[in-house]
Amino acid sequence: MRICLPMLLLPAIVCALPSCVHSQAPFAEESPIKTDLREAVFRYMFKNYNYGPSVKVLCIKTEKPLPEAFVKRFSDNQPPVVWASECTVDALPGAKEKKTGKRAIVMSIESIVWNKGDEAEVNVEAYSDGLAANWNRLTVVYKGGIWVVKKDHPTGVS
């Protein structure tokens, strides 16, 4: 009976602890190399998935939540870069920045699959409207201290 009493008290003690003990940080610390990979993928997309001069805003979305500060990596980019949550997406009028109503393109990292420590397959999407979208699988390698897209394989287009 002595052994059972402590075992019964353990769940009660755990439940009585402050909630902060159970909470998870919204953004777990991540290796800078993984963050750099995402930046390199977006920069590649900005350069290679150009939908023309009518696009005034680039809206980005990642496969997992990232700190707000991530978007600041692109503060020098033209057109400007914002989080996809700051844009609307509709099939007919297409993507637009909520604040300004300017035409946008949504560029998303859908998934990252690590082949090995210095190589990953990244599934991406670029969406402008119901008639202009593309899906690609990028092979990205870490070479000379930077991430480089080695292969761009289209997986779908509309």
CATH number where 123 lies? 3.10.450
- Domain assignment of residue 61, given as a range: 27-157
Q: How many domains does the chain have?
A: 1
What is the rounded average pLDDT of the residues 82-103? 93
Confidence of residue 116 (pLDDT cuts 50, 70, 90): confident
pLDDT of residue 17: 42
Q: Can you give the pTM of this predicted structure? A: 0.80
Cβ–Cβ under 8 Å, residues 38 and 70: yes
pLDDT of residue 30: 75
* Residue 69, domain member (yes or no): yes
What is the rounded average pLDDT of the residues 60-83? 95
Sign of the CA dihedral with 67 first, then 80, 137, and 126 last: positive
Tens digits of residue pLDDT in 2-53: 554 444 444 444 344 444 333 334 556 778 889 999 999 999 999 999 888 9
Is pLDDT larger for residue 130 or for residue 36? 36
pLDDT of residue 157: 85
What is the rounded average pLDDT of the residues 95-122? 95
Is pLDDT larger for residue 102 or for residue 131? 102
pLDDT of residue 5: 46
**First CA to last CA across the chain, in angstroms?**
69
pLDDT above 90: residue 126: yes
* Residue 15, domain member (yes or no): no
How many other CB atoms are there within 10 angstroms of residue 120's CB atom? 20
Q: Parallel, antiparallel, or unpaired: how do β-strands 81-83 and 132-143 relate?
A: unpaired
Q: How far is CA 85 from CA 6, 16, 57, 63, 106, in A?
A: 49, 37, 13, 13, 10
Is pLDDT larger for residue 155 or for residue 2? 155
pLDDT above 90: residue 113: yes
Is pLDDT larger for residue 11 or for residue 126? 126
Sign of the CA dihedral with 30 first, then 152, 106, and 50 last: positive
* Residue 42, domain member (yes or no): yes
* Residue 21, domain member (yes or no): no
* Residue 32, domain member (yes or no): yes
* Residue 113, domain member (yes or no): yes
* Residue 9, domain member (yes or no): no
